[in-house]
Chain A
Amino acid sequence: GAGVSQSPSNKVTEKGKDVELRCDPISGHTALYWYRQSLGQGLEFLIYFQGNSAPDKSGLPSDRFSAERTGGSVSTLTIQRTQQEDSAVYLCASSLSPDKETQYFGPGTRLLVL
């Protein structure tokens, strides 16, 4: 079956530009998560969506980062005025329900800010 998909797979941008990263979760999964993975580091939580509830934004590193989830399915992570330190792999995951369910990851978007 189809897994979590993300686009683009790679993105190169100039410092100061805005970028949008897209995530398509597994069909029927109600929970969606965004993580960031910098080179040589583990995964850093960014934001979490569950159904129609207000998202948990506690992991967003600055107000330049925002995310939305339309119709309880597709999500977009937006980074405004990108900085070089934003360069990382951005990973999306989804889970069937919020109750201790395994999170399944997409392949990630590799962002490089020049």
Chain B
Amino acid sequence: GESVGLHLPTLSVQEGDNSIINCAYSNSASDYFIWYKQESGKGPQFIIDIRSNMDKRQGQRVTVLLNKTVKHLSLQIAATQPGDSAVYFCAEITPSGNTPLVFGKGTRLSVIA
């Protein structure tokens, strides 16, 4: 399949370990954030979202943390599995509208079996 990004930051994690993927967002006025997972040759897939009135949200094996003070977002994946290997993007939306998501450049997660 096609590579989504050849020169992205890469995080290599042993299967079963926890992964933490970080993202710095650009606009302090952004009030909605989403993490997407993109496997090779596929479109981005929604993982989890968080609104600015929260600082933590948990899903199944994933947790998103939001630090508005330093404009930082992180995605934690528990017990990382080979199927988690992908490029992960954070995206933000500003209050001015719903319109387009502003995406970070992405981080490639590589799970070592």
**A 1-59 contacts with B by CB, 8 A:** 4, 31, 33, 35, 37, 39-43, 45, 48, 50, 56, 59
B51: chain A residues at CB < 8 Å are 100
A100: chain B residues at CB < 8 Å are 31-32, 51, 93, 98
Q: How far is the CA of A45 from the CA of B92 in the complex (A)?
A: 12
Q: Does B5 contact A (CB under 8 A)?
A: yes
Q: How far is the CB of A86 from chain B (nearest CB, A)?
A: 16
Residues of A within 8 A of B (CB): 4, 31, 33, 35, 37, 39-43, 45, 48, 50, 56, 59, 89, 91, 93, 95, 97-108, 110
Q: A50-B98, A56-B100, A93-B43 are in contact. List 18 more A-B contacts (CB 8 A).
A: A35-B103, A37-B4, A39-B3, A39-B5, A42-B105, A43-B44, A43-B103, A45-B99, A45-B102, A48-B99, A48-B100, A97-B98, A98-B98, A100-B31, A102-B34, A102-B49, A105-B36, A110-B2
Total inter-chain residue pairs, C-beta < 8 Å: 70
Interface size range of chain B in the complex: 20 to 34
Instruction: Tell me if A105 and B43 are in contact (CB < 8 A).
Output: yes
Instruction: Tell me if B104 and A33 are in contact (CB < 8 A).
Output: no
- 6 closest A-B pairs by beta carbon, nearest first, are A105-B43, A45-B100, A98-B98, A42-B103, A43-B103, A42-B105
Q: How far is the CA of A100 from the CA of B30 in the complex (A)?
A: 11
Q: Interface code B7-32, partner A: CB below 8 Å = 1, 0 otherwise?
A: 11000000000000000000000011
